[in-house]
């Protein structure tokens, strides 16, 4: 098997893409660190840190949470990573930890009703909490698998700012934020043994918290998901450079994943030229604020709508109408075995029984899901009130692909790895379903499936790059 592997590695070195992952040379620093990581972790060693910034796909943690579990099961648990502090909105999901927030805090966001100016400084999480009275409290309790021995709290120092009390296990620390000038500040608290709990209390004058994080320095992996529901990349641009720079310096990500594009593609009007400027600006900004840290841009996934205005929300793009099944065409199927990503043996197999699924596995490489064509069964047809991907979504994705290639940023073709255009319909209609009925968001089963596909593509690219040296 080594000769075919070496041949494929040479082809990978000459080609910008490996399966759904393009421009893989940009990920080489991260791959090098991952190859040196010891399965099960190493005591006293900082974990590798993946930081994903995005919209509701990121905030919901269905995909990042499943990816985190896969990586931590293999390499060891390095903590829950970076989170928006407290509970910034109703329905806030914090997989692996439970968070609490008392009354007495004002929440500010980069997007939505809580984003009206004037805004206090905001960082990576896209939210800030400002205490309104003494005794305002936030707390975090970790599940058994996410115990931590390093806690980080990031806040805004300024004239007349107050003080925070930090209780970590049995330890008590204070963070004084009064300063002659405004600046971002992160405080790190380490404990001699892993702990479950941390509590932060505002003592006196107002304080503004921008994020917090828990890590376990035992090697392994920490995967942070910081996302704002409904947000676009332009909204992330509202975060403060000084705050983001200090947080990046403290949190030390080894890979930054940008996962935007869905909300841009569903906007009433999508303007490719304006979006390209935003995309180039934010990529350049992250490279400036986190020099040397590899970037991975996730292309917008397939999604669909029946709203007529989505047929014309971008100029020059032809709409694609998606076939839908009759009830009889959807059959039961088994769940995907752990670690399996091939469509031919997964949940979509029975649903797409009329599609040939080739086997690309080898003894040396992880199995890859083939790209599935739209269904051709006569039981699938375009309805009178058709469903379709918004034309702006395709335009956003093509802008992402082109800019990533020009700037040498790694790009993952999420739509292709779902099966291509109109695949969201098939994921919704799968039995059991893999996407929610809005044809946009993934449920927990679909999140695991996407995480498996992304992780398998990254593993394959890493294997091929290693063999090409």
pLDDT along the chain (469 residues), means of 10: 46 64 95 84 85 97 98 95 96 95 97 90 97 98 96 97 95 96 96 96 96 96 96 97 98 98 97 98 98 98 96 88 70 29 30 28 35 53 92 97 97 97 96 96 97 96 84
Could you tell me which residues come within 8 angstroms of residue 248 by beta carbon, excluding any fewer than 6 positions away?
Answer: 124, 289, 290, 293
Q: Is residue 340 a part of any domain in this protein? A: yes
Give the per-residue pLDDT at 352.
29
Q: Is residue 109 a part of any domain in this protein? A: no
Burial of 272-287, coded b for 16+ CB within 10 Å and e otherwise, reads beebbebbeebbebbb
C-beta pairs of 459-462 under 8 Å, 24+ apart in sequence: 459/366, 460/18, 460/19, 460/21, 460/365, 460/366, 460/368, 461/12, 461/18, 461/19, 461/21, 461/24, 461/27, 461/31, 462/27, 462/31, 462/34, 462/35
Place of tokens 């300024």: 158
- Residue 314: burial class (beta carbons within 10 Å; 0-12, 13-18, 19+): buried
Report whether 302 contacts 420 (CB < 8 A).
yes
Q: Which helix (H) or strand (E) holds 78?
A: none
Q: Which of 356, 131, 125 is CA-nearest to residue 247?
A: 125
Q: Is residue 352 a part of any domain in this protein? A: yes
Number of separate domains in the chain: 1
Give the per-residue pLDDT at 383.
87
Q: Is residue 14 a part of any domain in this protein? A: no
Residues in a beta bridge with 185? 155
Q: Which of 398, 106, 142, 111 is CA-nearest to residue 239?
A: 111
Q: Which of 148, 106, 147, 113 is CA-nearest to residue 128?
A: 106
DSSP class of residue 366? -
Q: Is residue 328 a part of any domain in this protein? A: yes
Are β-strands 163-168 and 171-176 bridged in parallel, bridged antiparallel, or unpaired?
A: antiparallel
Distances (CA, A) of 167 to 69, 142, 170, 202, 206: 28, 14, 7, 12, 19
Dist. CA 432–CA 436, nearest whole Å:
11
Give the per-residue pLDDT at 467.
83
Distances (CA, A) of 63 to 147, 172, 261: 21, 35, 16
Dist. CA 139–CA 203, nearest whole Å:
15
Q: Which of 118, 111, 63 is CA-nearest to residue 88?
A: 111
As a residue count, the chain comes to 469
DSSP class of residue 337? P
Helix-helix angle 241-251:272-289, to 10 degrees: 50
Q: Which of 86, 391, 120 is CA-nearest to residue 242?
A: 120
Q: Which of 439, 429, 169 is CA-nearest to residue 305?
A: 439
Dist. CA 24–CA 465, nearest whole Å:
8
Lookup: tokens for 393? 């979504």
Q: Is residue 21 a part of any domain in this protein? A: no
3-state helix, strand, coil split of the chain in percent (to 5) is 35, 25, 40
Distances (CA, A) of 124 to 53, 213, 233, 330, 373: 7, 11, 12, 42, 38
- How open is the CA angle 454-459-465, to the nearest 5 degrees? 125
Q: Is residue 350 a part of any domain in this protein? A: yes
Q: Is residue 262 a part of any domain in this protein? A: no
Residue 341 domain boundaries: 323-360+372-381
Cα distance from N-terminal residue to C-terminal residue, the chain: 17
Q: Which helix (H) or strand (E) holds 63?
A: helix 62-75
pTM over 0.85: yes
Give the per-residue pLDDT at 37.
79
- How open is the CA angle 64-68-70, to the nearest 5 degrees? 120
């Amino acid at each position: 098997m080594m000769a075919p592997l070496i041949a494929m590695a040479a082809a990978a070195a000459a080609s910008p893409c490996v399966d759904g992952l393009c421009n893989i040379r940009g990920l080489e620093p991260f791959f090098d660190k991952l190859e040196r990581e010891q399965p099960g972790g190493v005591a006293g060693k900082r974990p590798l840190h993946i930081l994903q910034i995005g919209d509701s796909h990121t905030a919901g943690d269905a995909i990042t949470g499943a990816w985190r579990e896969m990586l931590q099961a293999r390499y060891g648990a390095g903590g829950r990573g970076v989170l928006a502090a407290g509970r910034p909105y109703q329905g806030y999901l914090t997989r692996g930890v439970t968070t609490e927030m008392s009354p007495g805090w004002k929440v500010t966001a980069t997007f939505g009703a809580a984003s009206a100016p004037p805004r206090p400084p905001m960082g990576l999480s896209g939210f800030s909490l400002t205490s309104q009275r003494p005794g305002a409290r936030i707390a975090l309790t970790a599940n058994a698998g996410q115990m931590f021995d390093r806690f980080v709290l990031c806040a805004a120092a300024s004239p007349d700012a107050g003080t925070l009390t930090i209780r970590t296990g049995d330890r008590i620390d204070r963070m004084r934020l009064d300063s002659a000038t405004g600046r971002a500040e992160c405080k790190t608290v380490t404990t001699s043994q892993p702990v479950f709990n941390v509590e932060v209390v505002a003592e006196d004058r107002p304080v503004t918290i921008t994020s917090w994080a828990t890590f376990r320095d035992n090697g392994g992996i920490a995967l942070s998901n910081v996302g704002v529901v409904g947000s676009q990349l332009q909204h992330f641009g509202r975060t403060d450079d000084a705050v983001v720079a200090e947080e990046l310096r403290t949190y030390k990500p080894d890979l930054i994943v940008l996962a935007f594009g869905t909300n841009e593609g569903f906007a009433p009007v999508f303007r490719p030229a304006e979006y390209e400027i935003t995309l180039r600006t934010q990529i350049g900004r992250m490279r400036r604020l986190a020099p040397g840290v590899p970037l991975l841009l996730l292309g917008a996934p397939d999604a669909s709508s029946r709203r007529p205005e989505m047929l014309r929300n971008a100029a020059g793009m032809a709409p694609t109408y998606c076939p839908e099944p009759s009830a009889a065409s959807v059959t039961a199927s088994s769940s995907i075995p752990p670690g399996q990503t091939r469509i031919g043996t997964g949940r979509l197999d029975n649903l797409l029984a009329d599609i040939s699924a080739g086997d690309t596995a080898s003894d040396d490489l992880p199995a890859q899901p083939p790209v599935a064509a739209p269904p051709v069964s006569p039981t699938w047809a375009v309805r009178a009130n058709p469903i379709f991907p918004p034309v702006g979504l395709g335009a956003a994705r093509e802008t992402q692909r082109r800019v990533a290639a020009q700037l040498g940023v790694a790009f993952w073709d999420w739509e292709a790895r779902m099966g291509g255009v109109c695949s969201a319909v098939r994921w919704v209609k799968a039995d059991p379903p893999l996407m929610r009925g809005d044809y946009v968001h993934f449920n927990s089963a679909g999140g695991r499936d996407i995480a498996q596909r992304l992780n398998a593509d990254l593993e394959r690219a890493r294997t091929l790059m290693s063999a090409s040296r």
